[in-house]
Amino acid sequence: FGGKVKDTPVDLVLSCVDNFEARMTINTACNELGQAWFESGVSENAVSGHIQFIIPGDTSCFACAPPLVVATHTDERTLKREGVCAASLPTTMAVVAGFLVQNVLKFLLGFGQVSYYLGYNALQDFFPTMRLRPNPNCDDTFCLKQQRLFQEREAAKPKDEVCAPQVEEAVVHDENEWSIEIVSETTEEESRAAEGERPVLTEGVTVAYTKPVAQVNDKTDFVDNTELSIEELMKQMQSL
């Protein structure tokens, strides 16, 4: 027990271990209990990492698509760790830890969208996201059991009726006693000039505003500077 509500199970389990055997142990225990949990890790070369949100029966568990080391039952102690970038290890771990904590907050506090899988490639600044479906041929028997339970829960849910979208009719007044009309005070040319040029951006990025085009003032609107004194200007005005 230890959930947000008193005398309830924990709401979430976080896996921050450094070996596959420990991950498989956590995976089996959470599958048996139907416990949602986050798996996280950093690659051996210290330049990539990931987090994965696992809901037993709904999403892929760690054994549904295991790493090659786990699938081939290779002893981790025999692996050679060549090409490790020790300088990037602390920063890569910090980035992955930040992703993990941020998604935990979104899950527990109920805001935003929780990432089911979020990767990080430091060499290319690449952040892939996806949702992994459970493997119906998973080796974990508890995972297969949770998949059946999830499918039964989904089948028991009431079907949503598809309703035709309602079209809102525009409000039109037949009478206009006071002859009121709405007229724009700016022309189309002025509107386009105020918007400015839109830069070419990557997909998913939009501009919050555009820099207006600088307006060039017409010199005919100004009086030429003749360098005359006030007295001389007064005499010219009196002679008109």
Alpha helix segments (H runs only) across 129-226: 141-156, 188-195
Catalytic residues, which ones?
A: 85
Per-residue tokens: 51: 């987090």
φ, ψ for residue 233, nearest 5 deg: -65, -35
Determine the length of the chain: 240
Q: Please calculate the CA angle 184-186-190 and round it to the nearest 5 degrees.
A: 150
DSSP code at position 216: P
Its sign, for the CA torsion 131, 35, 23, 49, is: positive
Residue linked to tokens 């506090």 = 109
